[in-house]
Amino acid sequence: MKSATTVIPGLYEMALQHLLDHGCSAHPYQEYEKLIEAVNFYAPRKVLEIGAGIGFTAAAMLLSNRDIYVDTFEKDSVHAKLARKLLNELGFWQRSAVINDSAEIALPLLQTKYDFIFFDGFQIHYEFLPQYKRLLNREGILFLANNHLKSKTSDRFFAELADATTWKIIDQFADTTVAQRL
Ligand SMILES: C[S@@+](CC[C@H](N)C(=O)[O-])C[C@H]1O[C@@H](n2cnc3c(N)ncnc32)[C@H](O)[C@@H]1O
């Protein structure tokens, strides 16, 4: 069986190729090595991903850490179908679920808790922050990509994330912020 470090770069290339073929804006997350590092360091059991794309980052996390379970939300039905196919082909049907829904609708309905949330949708919206707080276990990790994609409420989002009573910002790099739920 091939090792995760051999397989993951090939999956990244496949996700890039999809972007070109489909003409969509599902850029695979470039800092995926940092994401994998975080998933191994914080050792979450349950991971929530927003923005599956064709399943690259969910696959990368699952390949790198055998102890995690990933729920991944994807609003585009073509992407959701491809993500489900990829995760099934990699043998992760029992350790993952691809949900074809937008996070705006799905997050408020979720009743389960997570140890790690990876946001890789498009713009950052304030309305997600109370949901992250509700859904993350104490000391859980919020790993937010695409910080450069501003919305009308993204400044409010980051101002509240800087609130030291609920969140501790742990790291910031390459349009990514990593925070811990206190
Ligand atoms: C930048 S791509 C991320 C792909 C994937 N994480 C990767 O690295 O390959 C963003 C994906 O998030 C999806 N998306 C954007 N906003 C979303 C939302 N609010 N809810 C669910 N999916 C969303 C898009 O359809 C797109 O497939």
CA 158 from centre of chain: 18
**Residue 120 CB coordination number (10 Å):** 24
Q: How confident is the model at residue 6 (pLDDT cuts 50, 70, 90)?
A: confident
Using a 6 Å cutoff on CB, does residue 53 contact ligand 1? yes
Using a 6 Å cutoff on CB, does residue 73 contact ligand 1? yes
Average pLDDT estimate for 3-7? 85
32, 47, 104, 120, best to mutate for ligand 1 pocket (most atoms within 8 Å of CB): 120
CA distance 155 to 124: 9
CA distance 16 to 27: 7
pLDDT single digits (tens) 110-158: 999 999 999 999 999 999 999 999 999 999 999 999 999 999 999 999 9
pTM over 0.75: yes
